[in-house]
Amino acid sequence: MIAAAQDVPMAPASGLSPLFESAATRQAILVAVRNALASLVIPKLTEEQDVVTGHLLVRLLDYVEEQHRDAQLSLAGRNGLPSDLLDELASLTGVGALQAQDLAGIADALARLTATPGTSDERVDRRAAFLNRLSSHENAALATLDAHEGVAGTYTKGVVDLQDVRTEAISTPPLTEEGLTAAIRRAGLFGPDASAHSIVEIPGGFNKITAAFKIRHDGGEDAVIIRRDSVPNPTGFTCVDEFPTLRAVWEEGSLPVAEPLMAQGDASVLGSPFILVRRMAGSTDISHWKDKPGAGEALARTLAQALAKLHAIDVRRFLPEGEAVRPLEEYVAAEVHRWRSKSLGWRIRPNPALDAGFAWAAANVPHVARAPVLVHGDVGFHNMLMDGGTLTALLDWEFSHIGDPLEDIIYCKPFVSEVCSFEEFLVMYAEAGGVAYDPSVADFYELWPSLRNGSGCDALMRTFLEHPGSDLKFAVAGTQHARRYENAVLAHLGQIADREGGVR
C-alpha cells in the first residue's frame, strides 16, 4: 500500500545539503560527465557523425566547466569594461562619460580612437597604451584556459541580453531518398526515372550542411553532393547565392571545381535552399601524406598554381551585365562596410575587440593600383579536394567576392606555413603567373579574417540562443572559436601599435 504523502517520514536534515547545491558540486558533476563521455562513450561510437557530435559535447562541457571553475572569468562578462578603461577612452576621444553597457557609445568611441590620426606624440603614445591595456584586459582569462585542440575557450566581455532574443525550436529537416528523388525529377536532372539513394552526411562546416548521395538513371549512376542551408540559417547567407560564381568558374575551365548541376532557392522542396554539384574524387584530409618527403612542397605549389589561375580569370565574368569594373579600393571598402553592418546586427553583447578592428580596417583600406579579381575568401587545405597529389576541386565559395588577390594569398599563410615558408610560397605563386606581393597590405589582410570570422561566430551564438535545440556547432563557435578571433584582432592591433607608435 502506498502511504499518503502526509504519512511519509521526512528525511533527517543533512549537513551535506548545502554542499550538494554548491557550485563546486555542480562543477564536479560536469567534469565527471565530460570525462565519462570522452573516455567511455565516444570510443564506442562507430558512425562518423556520432563521433563528431560527441566531441562537440565535450567542447561545450569544457566551456561550462570553465565558467564554474573560476568565477573571475565571467566578471567582465557581467560588468563590461572597467571604469578606468572607459574613462581613458572618453578622454582620448573627447566623448562624454561612457557606461559599461553603452554598446553604441563604446563602439563610436573606439571608432574615433582607431580612425583619427594622432595630433601629437603624447596622444599617439596614450592611444597605443590604451589599446595594449584593452588587449590585456580582454585576454586576462586566457592564461588559465587549457583550450581544447588549441582553441581559446570563453567570452569574458559584455552581457547577453535575452530580452532581445526570441526563442524558437527549429531544426533542419532530414534528407530522405524520396525527397531527393522528387527534387531531381522536378528539375529534370538525369531523366524522368532518376532516383536517389545511399545518402551519407559529410561532417564539417558551421553554416551549411553537406551530404553525398548517388543518382541511378537510365544511363548508369552518378555521385552527387548536396549543400544545404542550415535551419535556422545564422548568417542569412544562402548557398544558392554562390551558385552563379561556381558556374562561371566551372565554365571558364582553367580551375578545377565541381560541376554545378542545379540550385533551388525554394525551401519547401527539401526544407531549406540547396545546390547540387557533381562529386569529385579525393579528400580534404591531407594529414596522412603531407609529411612525406616532397609532399608538403608539392601541396603548396598546387595551391599557388590554383590561386594564380583563379586570379587570372576575367573579373567581368562575375559582374552584372553592363557593369564596369571599379577601382579595387571601392570593392574592399564595400566589403568592410558589409561585414561591419552584419556584425553589428548579429550581436547580443558588447564586442570592443571587433569594434576596434572594424574601425581600424575602415580607416586603413589599402590604396593600391592592382586590378580587382575574384577572391575565394576561404582558401586553404581544408577546401582543397586532393586525389593523391592532384587537385580535383576547390571547394566552398560562400565567401567569394570581388577584391584584392593578396587577400587570398595572405589568408592561406597559416596553412602553407605548415609545409613550407611563406616566402617560398610567394615565389611559387609568382612563377605560376600571380600578382607581385605587396607587403604594405599585410596588416590589413592579416587582421581581416579574424574580423569576418569573429562576426560570424556572433551570428552563430545568437542563433543558438534564439533556437533551442539547434546545431551544437553554433554553440561551440559562439563560446570557443569567437574568443580566438577576438583575441587575434586585439593582438594584431597591439602589434601595430607597438611597431608604429600607435594604431593609425
pLDDT digits (tens, 9 = 90+) for 99-141: 766 666 776 777 677 655 545 556 556 776 777 677 666 555 3
Q: State the amino acid at position 343 in one-letter form.
A: S
Cα(46)–Cα(59) distance, integer angstroms: 20
Residues counted in the chain: 504
From 3.90.1200.10, 2.30.40.10, 3.40.1160.10, 3.40.50.300, which CATH number describes the 80-137+150-169+283-504 domain?
A: 3.90.1200.10
Task: At 404, list the grid cell.
Answer: 584584392
In terms of CATH architecture, what is 177-229+232-278?
2-Layer Sandwich (3.30)
pLDDT digits (tens, 9 = 90+) for 192-227: 999 999 999 887 777 888 999 999 999 999 999 999
Domain range summary for the chain, segments of one domain joined by +: 18-69, 80-137+150-169+283-504, 177-229+232-278
Q: Give the strand pairing for 373-375 and 274-278.
A: unpaired
Helix (H) or strand (E) holding 413: helix 413-416
Angle between helices 328-346 and 352-363 (to 10 degrees): 160
Cα dist. 256→214, 251, 277, 372 in Å? Answer: 21, 10, 13, 21
Helix (H) or strand (E) holding 210: strand 208-217
Residue 129 sits at φ, ψ, to 5 deg, of: -65, -40
Closest by CA position to 262, among listed 281, 280, 279, 240: 240
pTM over 0.85: no
Cα(180)–Cα(497) distance, integer angstroms: 54
Cα(188)–Cα(122) distance, integer angstroms: 70
Question: Is 63 buried (19+), middle (13-18) or exposed (0-12) by CB count in 10 A?
Answer: buried
Cα(397)–Cα(246) distance, integer angstroms: 7
Helix (H) or strand (E) holding 355: helix 352-363
Which one-letter DSSP state was computed for residue 38?
I
In a 3-state reduction of DSSP, which class is residue 48? helix
Q: Give the pLDDT of the chain (504 residues) as one tens digit per residue.
A: 333 333 333 333 334 334 334 555 565 556 666 676 777 777 877 777 777 777 777 777 777 666 555 443 333 343 456 777 788 888 888 777 877 666 667 767 776 776 555 455 565 567 767 776 776 665 553 433 333 222 222 222 223 333 444 445 467 788 999 999 999 999 999 999 999 999 998 877 778 889 999 999 999 999 999 999 988 899 999 999 999 999 999 999 999 999 999 999 999 999 999 999 999 999 888 777 767 788 889 999 999 999 999 999 999 999 999 999 999 999 999 999 999 999 998 987 778 889 889 989 999 999 999 999 999 999 988 899 998 788 999 999 999 999 999 999 999 999 999 889 999 999 999 999 999 999 999 999 999 999 999 999 999 988 888 876 677 788 888 877 888 898 899 889 888 887 776 444
CB of 451 closer than 8 Å to CB of 407: no
- 15 Cβ neighbours under 8 A, 6+ residues apart: none
Bridge partners of residue 200, in order along the sequence: 212
Residue 87 sits at φ, ψ, to 5 deg, of: -65, -40
Residue 278 has, within 13 A of its CA and on its CB side, a CA count of 16
